[in-house]
Amino acid sequence: MKGIHILATGHFAPDKIVTNDDLSKIVDTTDEWITSRTGMKKRHFCEAGDNNVTLATEAAKMALDKADIDINEIGALVVSTFSGDYLVPSAACQVQQELGLSDDIICFDLNAACSGFVFGIETMRGLLMQSEKRYGLLIGSECISRRLDMTDRGSCILFGDGAGAALIELDENRSYTSVYGCHGDLAVINCPNDANKPGRVHMEGQATYKFAVSTVPKLIKKVVEKAGIELEAIDAYVCHQANARIVDAVAKHLKQPKEKFFMNLDEYANTSAASVAIALSDAIDKGFCKPGQKVLLAGFGAGKTWGAIIVDL
Ligand code: COA
């Protein structure tokens, strides 16, 4: 199956840092509770002047700066997000303008919640197969802080803002395997879009936790089996950064060393569609993921949705 080459990545988060202690002044919680239950230490929140498009644009610029390409050869721009600044136009159209990309480009937003970046890779690969141009720009960007119920300690402590970007081209010499799924469920995680009042994220924590730890190991086994390889052939796992306990449980279930699983949720918390994008970019910058490696990306979240892909870096 024709693979993809991730030429360059970038990630960006707003300057404002919100620590667990900061949150303990807003809701009845403690640093000890948040750290022990989630592994999260801080998160970044947008301030005046920051928004979904500014985050997405900065992450994209960082990726483009690392790649020596003609930006007129970018034929597709997809922003995975559920927290766009406008219902229309899409964040992707605004980022196209900000980056000065050419007009003959397909631009749209994709909403698959926390599976957004993984669904985005599959979508981008399909778009590039149809495209007359060589490159695709995929961004996961979220400004979730504006969608949080800051009176609900069970959810507001979990999320942060940020964006990650990847510049992608097709590559016949790289392998590619993907598995996706969806089980429609409004109750477990939702964020209403009510014209009369701004929607806030609602999450059933325990049900979400159970969904994650039961779904993700099966998902990873399935994509590895489909690729015709063993778990041991995966050099690094970059999973959605929802909770360190979830990642640990997945590693334990798969009997894989925890050290193979990248985590940066202590710095960014859960950035939904940006989570895997930021983690991948951060993992590459830190040398955790290296060229030539086989990397498994896995996302899961509201929908409910889930997806995993194995790429050759
Ligand atoms: N600080 C202090 N106490 C808190 C708290 C907080 N921030 N949030 C909840 N609690 C309390 C609850 O009120 C409850 O108190 P009670 O026993 O007096 O009723 C107690 O802690 C246990 O709550 P529970 O929901 O069982 O905690 P938990 O161990 O399941 O941890 C989550 C809660 C949210 C951290 C955990 O369920 C989780 O990570 N779920 C998955 C989240 C996720 O992946 N979301 C993104 C999906 S894309």
Question: By CB neighbour count within 10 A (0-12 exposed, 13-18 middle, 19+ buried), where does 151 fall?
Answer: exposed
Q: What pLDDT, on a 0 to 100 scale, did the predictor assign at position 1?
A: 61
Query: Is 270 noted as a catalytic residue in this protein?
Result: yes
- The pLDDT tens digits of the residues spanning 143-186 come to 999 999 999 999 999 999 999 999 999 999 999 999 999 999 99
Nearest CA to ligand 1 atom 11: 154
Per-residue pLDDT, 196? 85
In the predicted model, what is the mean pLDDT of residues 208-219?
97
Average pLDDT over residues 6-26: 98
pLDDT of residue 198: 82
Question: Catalytic residue among 93, 240, 243, 264, which?
Answer: 240
Ligand 1 neighbours (beta carbon < 6 A): 29, 33-34, 37-38, 114, 153-154, 157-158, 189, 203, 205-206, 208-209, 212, 242-243, 246, 270, 301
Domains of the chain from N-terminus onward: 3-171 (3.40.47.10), 176-312 (3.40.47.10)
Q: What percent of the chain has pLDDT over 90?
A: 97
Q: List pLDDT tens digits, range 251-299.
A: 999 999 999 999 999 999 999 999 999 999 999 999 999 999 999 999 9
Q: Return the pLDDT at 203.
A: 95
Q: What is the pLDDT of residues 56-81, one digit of tens each?
A: 999 999 999 999 999 999 999 999 99
Average pLDDT, integer, range 24-44: 98
Choice among 89-103, 185-199, 288-302 with the minimum mean pLDDT: 185-199
Across the chain, mean pLDDT equals 97
pLDDT value, residue 133: 98
> Mutation test of ligand 1: which of 150, 243, 248 has the most ligand atoms closer than 8 Å to its C-beta?
243
